[in-house]
């Protein structure tokens, strides 16, 4: 999973494809999660029903990803965990993001060292 941080851009809304790319899942998975997680309700705009995700939606999706894809929970179990202990899930998703960042840095360092030899 490769989280893409959009702090340099001050967007208010992201499309389903942008969010899917950020989180590392496909758009179909996000639509499925919308059905399974009542709190995940992006704004829908226009006659073509374009989904618009906010920063809060993206943070919630990261929590879902952490539970479902990383820890192996089924969607129903993940929903119950998010409803019961949202703070613990938030902490674990922050730790996961940091670990992914460290891993990416280590991979880059390994490539750099391999190039010196």
- Two structure tokens written together for 60: 């919630």
Provide the whole-model pTM: 0.65
The helix (run of H) or strand (run of E) holding residue 50 is strand 50-52
Query: How far, in Å, CA of 113 to CA of 48, rounded?
Result: 50
Residues 6+ apart with CB under 8 A from 39: 60, 82
Is the pLDDT confidence value at 114 over 80?
A: yes
pLDDT score, position 19: 94
Residues 6+ apart with CB under 8 A from 40: 33, 34, 57, 60, 61, 64
pLDDT in tens, 53-93: 999 999 899 989 988 998 899 999 898 888 877 666 666 66
pLDDT score, position 49: 80
Residues 6+ apart with CB under 8 A from 68: 33, 74, 75, 78
Share the mean pLDDT of the chain.
83
- Better-predicted residue by pLDDT, 40 or 10: 40
Is the pLDDT confidence value at 44 over 80?
A: yes
């Amino acid at each position: 999973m490769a989280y893409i941080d959009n702090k340099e851009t001050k967007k208010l809304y992201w499309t389903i494809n942008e969010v899917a790319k950020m989180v590392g899942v496909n758009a179909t998975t996000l639509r499925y999660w919308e059905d399974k997680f009542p709190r995940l309700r992006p704004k829908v705009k226009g006659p073509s029903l374009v989904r618009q995700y906010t920063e809060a939606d993206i943070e919630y999706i990261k929590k879902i990803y952490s539970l479902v894809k990383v820890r192996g929970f089924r969607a129903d179990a993940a929903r119950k965990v998010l409803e019961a202990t949202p703070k613990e899930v938030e902490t674990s998703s922050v730790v996961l993001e940091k670990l992914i960042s460290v891993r990416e840095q280590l991979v880059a360092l390994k490539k750099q060292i391999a190039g010196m030899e």
